[in-house]
Structure 1
């Protein structure tokens, strides 16, 4: 096994905000329409080995949010939904560590490593991965197991979803996490 992946086998698979809200057309042009299939593959792989799978659910407090409890978008996407016994961590902010017991759960369970997939690359995924790295957790990010949307940069230049996604992965890799493909993770 590659030294960079030595801690990935058996790590917590942390799935972030994989809820129906992300399919709302108001988000705009999306990157990586195969992400859910890649994540479902990781999920099946982890479950077949009885490795821990944890789900993060965004419970928005914003009145107009599709992620707000009670809205159809609050529901988990069926292909990546939790099954009995898989923990659900409810969050109200972009990072899964803020206002939750995620750090305490990871430490109490002796989970020093985790594999992250989910949405949005430059929002909740980024915030969670950066914080995990800063807290000392070994983190692996499935590059093709997350996605984002087109966005204008600070100067007003329109950036494609591919550009936003690629820049975020470059910013995170080797400093906060190890970026890998889902295919590599499926070899564990």
Structure 2
């Protein structure tokens, strides 16, 4: 696969608050952070734009609330911020989609002449999927890097529940099969962006 020279890496909600297992439950894909770090490093080394998205929760008790340590980016992300040669944006949001944050992601991407976005981060089936769907609806070419993200087990209606892996598979099938995004691996993206 080929990754555009101007493709933007959208790093969604890599925040310390997601490390609180008592709040979120069991996660999947323990290698996500290593893959995300590799992608950020390559994007910055090749001068491609990077967007860091932070969820500023307004929900009482959320570890992601402003003023809480959990609102901060994970250390490996914070250490990389500001190294993108000026082609970097911080978006803060209170809902799932990064396109409903401040400043406007769509306006910035348009201004940077970006047509392709690469989505990584937390959570696969929540903010990542919502951002990818909206990007697809807005006309962006969306690359969804499945092993550079993770999610948590989740309870639903009617006594149903799904594991993090089950939710990941459902998201991948829905996005890829529905034409919202190309669901790929980190290795594919690294190869496509480096070449």
Fold conserved between structures, TM > 0.5? yes
Structure 2 equivalent of residue 119 of structure 1: 122
Give 1:79 deviation, angstroms: 1.3
String of CA shifts for 1:98-118, please: whole Å, max 9, x gaps. Answer: 143111111111111110100
Which residues of 2 match residues 91-106 of structure 1 at below 5 A?
91-100=93-102, 101-106=104-109
Provide the aligned C-alpha RMSD in A. Answer: 1.4
Of the three residues 8, 12, 28, the one matched with 2:8 is 12
CA distance in 1 between counterparts of 2:67 and 2:184 reads 35
Aligned residues: 184
Structure 2 equivalent of residue 176 of structure 1: 180
CA distance in 2 between counterparts of 1:83 and 1:146 reads 18
Give 1:152 deviation, angstroms: 2.7
Q: Using structure 1 for the length normalisation, give the TM-score.
A: 0.92
Provide the secondary structure at the position in 2 that maps to 1:131: helix
Which is helix-richer, 1 or 2? Answer: 2
Structure 1: stretches of 5+ with no match in the other structure = none
Provide the secondary structure at the position in 2 that maps to 1:97: helix
